[in-house]
Structure 1
Amino acid sequence: MEEQMSELRRVCVTGAGGFIGSWLVKLLLSEGYKVHGTVRDPSNEKNAHLKKLDRATKNLQLFKADLLDYNAIVEAISGCEGVFHVASPVILSGASNPEEEIISPALLGTKNVLKACSETSVKRVVVVSSAAAIMFNPDWAQGTIMDESCWSNEEFCRSNENWYCLSKTMAERAAFKYAQENGLDVITVCPSLTLGPLLQSDVNFSSLVLLTFLKGSQELIETYNCENFVDVRDVAEALLLVYTKPDASGRYICSLNLIKFADLVDMVRNVYPSFNYPNNIPERNEGNDLSSEKLKKLGWKCRTLKETIADSIKYYQEVGLLTMEEKTT
C-alpha cells in the first residue's frame, strides 16, 4: 500500500488560492506532484502568486471552478488520484441568510467534491475541516483535553448563531457519511486558528486576528481568554502526511497547545517590546486544550508558536501590513 500511495503524483487542491491552499500547492509542487488547483478565476490577479511558485509553469494547472458547479469540479478532478478539499465559505459575521450563504455552500460543495471523486476513481480524499468542528461542545468536561472523538454540538452552534462552526461540523460529518456509504477513502484534518506568512495578496481572517492583536485591539481579548494556534506551513505538511501514509484514517487534530492571551502578550512583548499591545486582559475560565497526538504518531512535527509569530511579524513588516507608525512611542 505504501508503494502504491507513493505513485499518486497528480492531485487536485480546491481553494488553491487561499491561505492554506496556497501553502499546500507550494509544498506539493516542491515534492514533485502535478497539481490541479481550483480557483474562482484563474486570470484574477489574486491568483498570480500561484503561477510564480517554483515548478508552477510545468506542474500547476488552474481550473475555474465554483464548488456548486458539479461539472466544473469533475473537470478539475479528472485525471487526479488524490484530492485535497480545502475550499470552504468563511463568513464569521454579517450573514443575512446563514443557511444559504454559509451552511448550504459548505455542505453542497463538499458533497459535489466527494461525488466527483467517486466518479473519477480518486483513491484518497483529504478534507480540511476545522477545530471549530471539535471545540463547541458544552457536554465535554471543562478543562479536559479534546481529541478526535469530540464533535461540536450542532444545536449548541445553531442556538449561539455560530454558523461557521456549524457549517464545518455538518460538512465534516457529511464527508464521513458519504465515505461510508460509497466506499471512498476520506480523511479529515482539523486545524486550529492558523497563522504564518502569507503567499496570497489578500489578508485572511486568522492573519487579521494577529494583526489587530499586534495593533492593540481589545476586541479579540474581550471575546476569548485563550486560543489554540498552528502554523500554516505545518498544516500543509499535515495534509500531505495524512495523504501519503497508508495507515492514516479518520480525523486528525492539527494544533499547538492552548495559550492564554495574557501569556501570548508576554511572549511576544519579550521579543517585540514596542508594539501597542492590548491592556487589561480579563481573567476567565480556561478553555479546553486540543490534542494532536494522533497526528504526531504519524510523524507530524510542528514549529513553536514563537517561531510562527516571529515569521508572521517579519512578513507583515516586509509588505507594509505592520508599520512603525503602529508602534507605541
Structure 2
Amino acid sequence: MSGGEGKVVCVTGASGFIASWIVKLLLDRGYSVHATVRSLGDPKKTEHLLALDGADERLSLFEANLTEEGSFDSAINGCICVFHAASPVQFVVDDPQAQLIEPAVKGTLNVLKSAAKVPSLKRVVLTSSMSAVTNGLKLPGSGDVVDETWFSDPLFCEQNKLWYHLSKTLAESAAFKFSKENDLELVAINPGFVIGPLLQPILNLSSEWVMGLIKSGKEITSDGIYRFVDVRDVANAHILGFENPQANGRYLMVGNLVHSSLIMKILHKLDPTLIHSDRYKNSNCVEPSFSISRAKAESLGVEFTPLEVTIKDTVESLKEKNLLSL
C-alpha cells in the first residue's frame, strides 16, 4: 500500500473490465474509492468489487445514470480525482444516437459538470480509445508513426457508420472543450484492444473476441492487425495520469501492434489443445506497415506487459471463471 492513504477518488462505471482494475489498483495503493454502477441491486455489477482487498474499509458504491444530470454529484462530492470510465461499448446498434452517442457524450459532460462543482477536485482522467485517434481522413499507412497528435474525424466515422468510434471521438472532444472552459485538468487515456485477466464475473467484448479467435479463428478486423494492450497497464496508466503532476493531454496505450497469426502461434505454444482452427498453423506473421508510439505513455511511467504474459493470463482467467468451454 502506498500513495493513496487518506485520499478519496471516484471511478465511474466501476463494474466494467478496465474500471474494475482501476478500482483494484487504487485500493491496493491505499486510496478510498467512490465507485459508481448502474444498479446497486445487480450482484454481477457489485460482488467482485466488494470482494477486493481493502473494499470493506475503503470502497463505497453509488448508483448513477450517465444520461441523468446530477446523478454523479453524491459520488464525486469530496473527491480529489474522477476516473471516468463509464461509456457504452457496442459495435452493432439499432439506434446509434440513443445507444452510444448520447450516453457517451452527455454522460461525459454530466460527470464533468458534477466534477466542476467540487472545490477539492484536482483532475479528471478520462477513458477514451484509439477509436478516437486513427479514424480520420488520413488513415495510418506505410511508415507512419501514430502518436497523440492524430485525431479521428467525426464526419469520416459517421459516413462509414463507425458509431462506437464516433461516440468516443465526440466524447473526448467535448471533454477537453468543457474542461478548458471550466478550469478542470483533464487527462485522456486512449487504449487499443484491451485484453487480460477478468475481475468481473461476465465476459466483456474483448474477452469474447479472444474466445472466438481460440475456437474458430474468427477475426474482428478486416486486415487481422490488432492493437493490443494489457488491462492492468491501462488501469495503471489512469492512476499515473492522476498522480503525475506533469501529466497532460492524451496518452496512447498500445503495447503491441501484431497480426492475429502471431496470437494464434502464442496460444498454440501455450496450450496446443486450445486452438480449434487450422488455418493459422502454416501462416506467416504479417508485419504491420505502421507503428504506434509508446513514448508518451512510457514517459508517464507505464511499463508495458509482454504480450505472451497478457495472453497467458487472459486464458487462465477465462478457464478459472469457467468461461472458456473447449
Interval of TM-score (by shorter of Structure 1 and Structure 2)? over 0.9
Pick aligned residue for 1:99 from 86, 97, 100: 97
Unpaired segments of 5 or more residues in structure 2?
none
Question: Against the structure 1 CA distance between its residues 134 and 279, is the aligned structure 2 distance closer, same or farther, given a 3 Å change threshold?
Answer: farther
- CA offset at residue 178 of structure 1? 0.9
Question: Against the structure 1 CA distance between its residues 285 and 166, is the aligned structure 2 distance closer, same or farther, given a 3 Å change threshold?
Answer: farther
Aligned pairs (5 A) from 1:130-141? 130-141=129-140
RMSD: 1.9
Q: Secondary structure at the match of 2:267?
A: helix
Aligned pairs (5 A) from 1:194-205? 194-205=194-205
2:303 aligns with 301
For 1:109 and 1:269, locate their aligned partners in 2 and report how far apart those are by CA, in whole Å: 42
For 1:128 and 1:295, locate their aligned partners in 2 and report how far apart those are by CA, in whole Å: 14
Unpaired segments of 5 or more residues in structure 1?
none
Q: Is the 8 A contact 1:190 1:252 kept in 2?
A: yes
- CA offset at residue 140 of structure 1? 4.0
Q: Secondary structure at the match of 1:259?
A: strand
Q: Is the 8 A contact 1:191 1:230 kept in 2?
A: yes
Pick aligned residue for 1:14 from 12, 15, 39: 12
Pick aligned residue for 1:115 from 113, 116, 122: 113
Question: Against the structure 1 CA distance between its residues 8 and 68, is the aligned structure 2 distance closer, same or farther, given a 3 Å change threshold?
Answer: farther
1:41 aligns with 39
For 1:8 and 1:297, locate their aligned partners in 2 and report how far apart those are by CA, in whole Å: 27
Q: Secondary structure at the match of 2:10?
A: strand
How many residues align structurally?
Answer: 318
- CA offset at residue 198 of structure 1? 0.7
- CA offset at residue 42 of structure 1? 1.8
State TM-score, norm by structure 1.
Answer: 0.91
Question: Against the structure 1 CA distance between its residues 6 and 266, is the aligned structure 2 distance closer, same or farther, given a 3 Å change threshold?
Answer: closer
**Amino acid of the structure 2 residue aligned with 1:26:** K
1:90-121 Cα deviation digits (max 9, x unpaired): 1210x221112111111100001111111112
Aligned pairs (5 A) from 1:228-267? 228-267=227-266
Matched, 1:129 2:115: no
2:164 aligns with 164
Q: Is the 8 A contact 1:8 1:82 kept in 2?
A: no
1:15-39 Cα deviation digits (max 9, x unpaired): 0111111111011011110100000
State TM-score, norm by structure 2.
Answer: 0.92
Q: Is the 8 A contact 1:6 1:244 kept in 2?
A: no
For 1:44 and 1:128, locate their aligned partners in 2 and report how far apart those are by CA, in whole Å: 23
- CA offset at residue 75 of structure 1? 1.2
For 1:83 and 1:174, locate their aligned partners in 2 and report how far apart those are by CA, in whole Å: 16
- CA offset at residue 277 of structure 1? 4.5
For 1:300 and 1:141, locate their aligned partners in 2 and report how far apart those are by CA, in whole Å: 24
For 1:249 and 1:133, locate their aligned partners in 2 and report how far apart those are by CA, in whole Å: 17
Q: Is the 8 A contact 1:225 1:286 kept in 2?
A: no
Aligned pairs (5 A) from 1:167-178? 167-178=167-178
1:313 aligns with 315
- CA offset at residue 177 of structure 1? 0.7
Identity %: 39
- CA offset at residue 8 of structure 1? 7.5
2:275 aligns with 276
For 1:37 and 1:127, locate their aligned partners in 2 and report how far apart those are by CA, in whole Å: 15
For 1:106 and 1:188, locate their aligned partners in 2 and report how far apart those are by CA, in whole Å: 14
